[in-house]
Amino acid sequence: MNYRIYPPEDLLEADVNVPLSKSISNRALIIHALAGNLDFTELPIPDCTDTMAMTEALRNVSDTINVGGAGTAMRFLTAYLAMQHGRSVTLDGDSRMRQRPISVLVNALRKCGATINYEGQEGFPPLRITGAKLSGGTLDIDASVSSQYISALLMVAPYMTDGLIINLSEDVNSLPYIDLTIDIMNRCGAEAERSGRTITVKPGTYRPTVFPSGGDWSAASYWYEIEALTSGFVTLHGLDIASRQGDRAVADIFAKLGVETSAGETPDIVELVASPELSPRLYHDFSDTPDIVQTVAVTCAMLGVPFQFTGLSTLRIKETDRMEALRRELAKVGVAIECTADTMTWNGRRLPITSMPEFDTYGDHRMAMSLAPVSIYIPGIVVRDIEVVEKSYPGFWMNLQAAGFTLTDADCNEPLPDTQP
């Protein structure tokens, strides 16, 4: 389905229940399964396709598991299944997943004693995994491709005979999410620590532990974008302002784009208001937070803020090639960005547009949610294939309606029901 989107007619005042963090939830699910507990009913997990893929896969007792487009599930399950002694499983995904590299993780697990074979193209899913008792030891790993490889190894490391020592390469991607993994592991009974680029995990076991997952800061980023473009008032419920999630950095980035963040009346409320602070040009290294690049890029494009972003190499192996997707879609609003392997630059000059933008989403939830607020500046834009948000934020469109946006079926221009989230 395709939505045509119009902005609120009055000053925006939005109260939003932010979805639970899938980053925390997916880690908690793996750790609970490793502890021998496949009853996830007590765990606070979001109702999105990414976590559904994980829970269904962990409970799947067949010899074939397909996680669709859930990249986190693919990586975490590769390590989890590699240590399930006596079990042999083919782990597969959708067509895009078969284009996303996984050799760094597979090679590391093989060095720990795992038996994993490629059933298609070398270095990519599907994988045939034969579970075994893993020995562990010391690994030197290229951490520039995906921090999820590191997190996958760390979570199974307590069950390795010798534990695990990982020496990370100099260029570490999404380091805050590696630290998040270590923190969750230790909360659940493991002994893990990072000192510089060396991580040590001692042999041991987990105990099933339930703790609040908190709201998802990646999901909150779209409301930062909306606040920056409307100068309205946004209250985010369920969000921990002191969260260890890497994308908590969105508050610091948007402080340079006219958004002030403050704690609300209770610890799980964050309030956003407009501020006069607007950088004339934004330079930022997104190595730690690649998932919010689209949000920030679209915001800058609408505000007319030239930018240069670095640390973007992993964007090309996400749900889509996000650098190329952004280049194509922002061109529809007259913004010609230049991309290299690791950088994205815009000089601030905008070309005239000759038609109403109709945005493609490339099967990527973050493309849809970052482009929807363009309607604030260009009422009536179309976002195609809106179902992609189910991956991480199923309630996004209802939240947008509740905030005063008008959504119509772009194919027949009929208004959608006035539903509340």
Q: For the segment 405-415, what is each residue's pLDDT rounded down to a tens digit?
A: 999 998 876 66
Residue 145's pLDDT band, with cuts at 50, 70 and 90, is confident
Q: What is the chain's mean pLDDT, rounded?
A: 93
CATH of domain 3-20+214-415: 3.65.10.10
Q: Over 70: is that where the pLDDT of 203 sits?
A: yes
pTM for this prediction: 0.93
Average pLDDT over residues 264-286: 93
pLDDT at site 420:
38
379 confidence band (pLDDT: 50, 70, 90): very high
How much of the chain exceeds pLDDT 70, in percent? 98
The first and second tokens of residue 39, run together, are 């009853």
Is the CA virtual torsion 188, 190, 194, 199 positive or negative? negative
pLDDT tens track for 9-39: 999 999 999 999 999 999 999 999 999 999 8
Domain boundaries defined on the chain: 3-20+214-415, 22-201
What is the arithmetic mean of pLDDT over 96-124? 96
52-86 per-position pLDDT tens digit: 999 999 999 899 999 999 999 999 999 999 999 99
- The CA-based angle 263-266-269, given to 5 degrees, is 55
Mean pLDDT of 352-356: 91
What letters, b where the CB count within 10 A reaches 16 and e where it falls short, cover 33-57?
Answer: bbbeeeebeebbbbebbbbbbbbeb
Return the active site residues.
291
- 257 pLDDT band (50/70/90 cuts)? very high
Whether residue 142 is predicted with pLDDT greater than 90 in this model: the reply is no
Which CATH superfamily, name and number, covers 22-201?
A: Enolpyruvate transferase domain (3.65.10.10)
Average pLDDT over residues 43-54: 92
Does pLDDT of 180 surpass 60?
yes
